[in-house]
Chains A and B, each alone.
Chain A
Amino acid sequence: MKPRKDLITIGSLSDEEINTILDSATAMKDIFTKSVKKVPALKGKSVLTLFYEPSTRTRSSFEVAAHRLSADVTTFTVGTSSVVKGESVHDTIDTLMSMKMDYIIVRHKNSGIPDVIARHCKAAVINAGDGAHAHPSQAFLDAFTIREKYGTVAGKRVVIIGDILHSRVARSTSTILQRLGAQVAYMGPGPLVPLQAHTGIPRFTNWDEVFDWKPDVIYLLRVQNERIDTPFFPAGDYHQAFGVTEERLKIIDDLDLGIMHPGPVNRGVELCDAAMEYRNCLVCNQVENGIAARMSILYHLTPQTQNND
């Protein structure tokens, strides 16, 4: 397998790479059960987290992953940096590269920024979410969670529900699941679900169609009010129309479906309280698996800084 410098999208990976990263995530997860939860794989390497958007889960998940691989982690805080003075991304990266970083984990509100950074520097760049474009580490942890729960991803049917239009999670997770042989459908409010002609993915607009499709997993996206500039939803009825209500939870329980969510959950919007306690709710598994998947991703990439130092 050719060494890979960056992880920007799932689409850029070969099937072999996807499977390798998933397989080694299993090995990484085994480390969590040991008394010393650390391996020296990235000892002496510098990892930078560069988050231009607020994030708790993804950032801390990457930081824990890097620590468990024995890397040195630096956190770049955008709010107190020159970025607020209007510094361009290129100039920020030049500054940071002078500090000889090996890995840069980046999140930005603009689609395409990690790609620009990756082409501009020798460090391995990991896309931790860019606009509505991609969130590949989320895709890996989702695929890993389904594989762990059901033994395989191939043949499973997953419905992703919510604001598909603004969602990088929907794009990346649907791509990896399809590559692994699963079937994916989208459901959500009309203006927020792109046409099937554009996505190649079946498009539903209500729960009846979802249940008729006989899914194995219901994947709810977060309602991201911070990303929506003008009102998209009819006032107040999102939970009734598109959320997992207590009535729907009964059907989901009867059908023995799994529930997933990338977090953080808006309780009473995407999921009712009871859904968080549901026996097949995989949300906490996703968080735990996120660390294993991100360790595996870091382990898999090869910064060009290694060859040139």
Chain B
Amino acid sequence: MTDTIIKNATWAISGEKYDLSLTTCEDGKHPQLDGITLTGVERCEPAGKLPVPQGAQVIDAAGKLLLPALFDMHAKVEISGRSKRESVNRTGQAATNGGVWAMLVMPNRGFCFDSAPNLDSFRDAVEQRSSAEMYAAGCITLGMGGEQQAPYNTLAARGVRILSDAEHVPANLLTLHRVMKYVAELDMVLAIRGDVPELTRNTYMHPGATSYRLGLHGTPACAEEIGIETLLRLAADAGARIHIQTVSTAEGVDIIRRAKAAGQKVTAEVALHHLLFTHEDVGNYNTNYKVLPPLRERRDCEALIAGVKDGTIDCIVSDHTPCIPFAKKQDFITAPHGMAVLDHFLPALYTHLVKPSLLTWAELVRACSTAPCGIVKPVDEYDEPRVAPLMLFDPSACGTVQAAQLACGTQNSPFIGGELCGSVILPLQ
């Protein structure tokens, strides 16, 4: 029984206009466009071809874009000093505002997914308080300490498919090699970033004119690149599927491109901020631009965008890291890493990448929705695959971002005070 009709919506990928009738029936067959299932839609016809039944509610979507909601496969939800449920609630709201229907949550100090009880308490909080779906990435090592392996069988039995210690990289290669063998056996994915801890200890930003001026020691790009090469070699040997997190350098993209060409089972992601900002944005110790790995040079941004376009980089992620205002008011060395970008994820992607024609909508949908969903493979409680819902996006709604608008509960967003275009209507109904 249809009671809502959406008219004149523009399918973002092709630019063609469609009329849709929505259904609340979950198990029916849904139509597809460009290979993407239109979840929640009963019929989809070219604009003007869909009859409107008597009494139906009609939403005029002229000028609005229709696309699948985004899947963010790298975010954190914990806000220190707040209750876990409150953190989950706020992050879920921020995700919905930013066009994200589901996310893969990285472990951190508060939500350390290294045991069944920790996982269960998180899932309870999500079920009760989150407007967005949240899936947990299990820890690689207990407490993300880099030494003792987490209970992988227990985590796998609870549906965990991805293992990650977030930004932490076990320094011991023997540990990593063993982890990869477990990952291969259990058909999991190891999500990890490239790093050589000896090379990056006590470093705070990309080495260059800005780091020299500020007297901050530089994080060499080669540390990340050697790290990626090492991970690829270990994974190839162990037969493990790995996902390289937060690639930040041009050479890192090339290394992954070569590995893919050689047929290795590897996927990769880039954080939105590594596509948009450079080390110069740190300016005069602006802690909102302190991220891990650090912001690099313009040529790295360009190489990363090229990597997204040719599919070397599978996903664009938010790497959303809420930090309480006090933490970011400290000096650059003491302040924590991370940006809170979920609230404006899609508007920022649109304003800074699609609008200036750096990415197409098709590339954005692939990198931010279908590809991450394909890696994480989210399932519901009956083990049925979950599919992205649809959303409407109004690209003409432009405005200045105010700190007070942020649902995520923190203010470490680089977009505050800037102009962003686009507002999200999610869920559709």
Binding site for B on A (CB under 8 A): 11, 88-90, 108, 110-113, 115-116, 120, 130-134, 165, 168, 171, 194, 197-200, 229
Interface residues of B in 159-189 (CB under 8 A from A): none
**Known contacts A110-B331, A111-B332, A132-B215: A90-B326 contact under CB 8 Å:** yes
Question: Assuming the A-B contacts A110-B333, A111-B333, A113-B331, are A171 and B326 also in contact, with contact meaning beta carbons closer than 8 angstroms in the complex?
Answer: no
Known: A88-B330, A89-B331. A111 touches B209 (CB 8 A): no
Is B146 in the interface zone, CB < 8 Å from A? no
CA gap between A151 and B312 in the complex, in Å: 62
Which B residues from 299 to 335 make CB contacts under 8 A with A? 326, 329-334
| CB–CB B216/A111 < 8 A | yes
> 3 shortest A-B CB distances, which residue pairs?
A133-B215, A132-B215, A111-B215
Give the contacting residue for B329; candidates A90, A132, A134; CB below 8 A.
A90
Q: What CA separation (Å) do A131 and B203 show in the bound complex?
A: 13
Least CB separation from B285: chain A residue: A112
Name B215's contact: one of A89, A134, A197 (CB within 8 Å): A134
**What is the 8 Å Cβ interface bit string for chain B, positions 193-212, against chain A (1 contact, 0 not)?**
00000000110000111011
CA distance A90 to B212 in the complex (A): 26
Interface centre among A112, A116, A198, A199 (most CB of B within 10 A): A112
Give the docked Cα–Cα distance between A89 and B329 (Å).
Answer: 11
Q: Which of A90, A120, A133, A200: most chain B Cβ within 10 A?
A: A133
B214 within 8 A of A: yes
- The residues of A that contact B285 with a CB separation of less than 8 Å are 111-112, 115-116
Q: Across the interface, which residues of B come within 8 angstroms of A115, CB to CB?
A: 284-285, 331
Whether A132 touches B217, Cβ cut-off 8 Å, given contacts A112-B285, A198-B208, is yes
A197 to B209, CA, bound (A): 7
Q: Is the CB of A89 within 8 A of B208?
A: no
Report the count of interface residues on B (CB-CB < 8 A). 21
In the bound assembly, the distance between CA atoms of A132 and B207 in angstroms comes to 14
Return chain B residues, CB-CB under 8 Å to A171: 212-213, 215
Which residues on the B side are within 8 Å of A112 (C-beta)?
214-216, 285, 331-333
Seed contacts A111-B216, A116-B285; 12 additional CB < 8 Å A-B pairs: A11-B213, A110-B332, A111-B214, A116-B329, A116-B331, A131-B215, A132-B215, A165-B217, A194-B212, A198-B211, A199-B209, A229-B201
**8 A Cβ contacts from B209-255 to A:** 209, 211-217
Assuming the contacts A89-B331, A113-B331, asked whether A130 and B212 have C-beta atoms less than 8 A apart, the reply is no
The contact sample of 26 A-B pairs, CB cut-off 8 A, is A88-B330, A90-B330, A110-B331, A110-B333, A111-B331, A111-B333, A112-B216, A112-B285, A112-B331, A112-B332, A112-B333, A115-B285, A116-B329, A116-B330, A130-B215, A131-B215, A132-B215, A132-B216, A134-B215, A198-B207, A198-B208, A198-B209, A198-B212, A199-B212, A200-B209, A229-B201
Residue on B with the closest CB to A8? B284
Within the complex, the shortest CB–CB distance from B222 to chain A, in Å, comes to 14
Give the distance to chain A from B81, nearest Cβ to Cβ, in Å. Answer: 14
Q: Give every chain B residue within 8 A of A198 (Cβ-Cβ).
A: 207-209, 211-212
- Give Cα A200–Cα B209 distance, bound, in whole angstroms: 9
Query: Min CB distance, B336 to chain A, in Å?
Result: 13
Known: A111-B214, A115-B285, A132-B217. A89 touches B333 (CB 8 A): no
Interface centre among B214, B215, B331, B333 (most CB of A within 10 A): B215
Cα A130 to Cα B285 in complex, Å, equals 13
Kindly report which residue of chain B lies nearest to residue A199, judged by CB atoms.
B212
Say yes or no: B330 contacts A89, CB within 8 Å.
yes
A132 to B331, CA, bound (A): 14
| Contact residues in A for B207 (Cβ distance below 8 Å) | 198
What is the minimal beta-carbon distance from B345 to any residue of chain A, in angstroms? 29
Could you tell me the distance between the alpha carbons of A120 and B209 in the complex, rounded to whole angstroms? 27
Chain B residues with CB under 8 Å of A110's CB are 331-334
Best-surrounded residue of B207, B212, B329 (most CB of chain A within 10 A) = B212
Q: What's the least CB distance linking B130 to chain A, in Å?
A: 32
Q: Mark B324-354, 1 if CB is under 8 A from A, else 0.
A: 0010011111100000000000000000000
Q: Give the CA-CA distance A132 to B215 in the complex, in Å.
A: 4
In the complex, chain A residues whose CB is within 8 Å of the CB of B212: 171, 194, 198-199
Distance of A65 from chain B, by nearest CB (Å): 24
Contact across chains for A133 and B209 when beta carbons are under 8 A apart: no
Chain A residues within an 8 Å CB radius of B333: 110-112, 131
CB distance from B266 to the nearest CB of A (A): 32
- The interface residues of chain B lying within 8 Å CB-to-CB of A88 are 330
Complex CA distance for A89 and B334, rounded to whole angstroms? 10
CB-nearest residue of chain B relative to A120? B329
Docked pose: A45 CA to B17 CA in angstroms: 73
Which chain A positions have C-beta within 8 A of B330?
88-90, 116
B334 touching A229, Cβ below 8 Å = no
Q: How far is the CB of A50 from chain B (nearest CB, A)?
A: 14
Complex: A171 Cα to B334 Cα, angstroms: 22
CA distance A90 to B329 in the complex (A): 9
A115 and chain B: residue at smallest CB distance:
B285
Q: Are A133 and B202 in contact (CB under 8 A)?
A: no
Inter-chain CA distance A112–B214, complex, in Å, is 7
Q: A113's closest neighbor in chain B, by CB?
A: B331
Which one of A108, A113, A134, A199 has the highest number of Cβ atoms from chain B below 10 Å of its Cβ?
A: A113
> What chain B residues lie within 8 Å of A133 (beta carbons)?
214-216
Nearest-neighbour CB distance to chain B for A70, whole angstroms, equals 33
Assembled-state Cα–Cα distance A134/B284 (Å): 13
User: In B264-294, which residues have CB < 8 Å from any A CB?
Assistant: 284-285
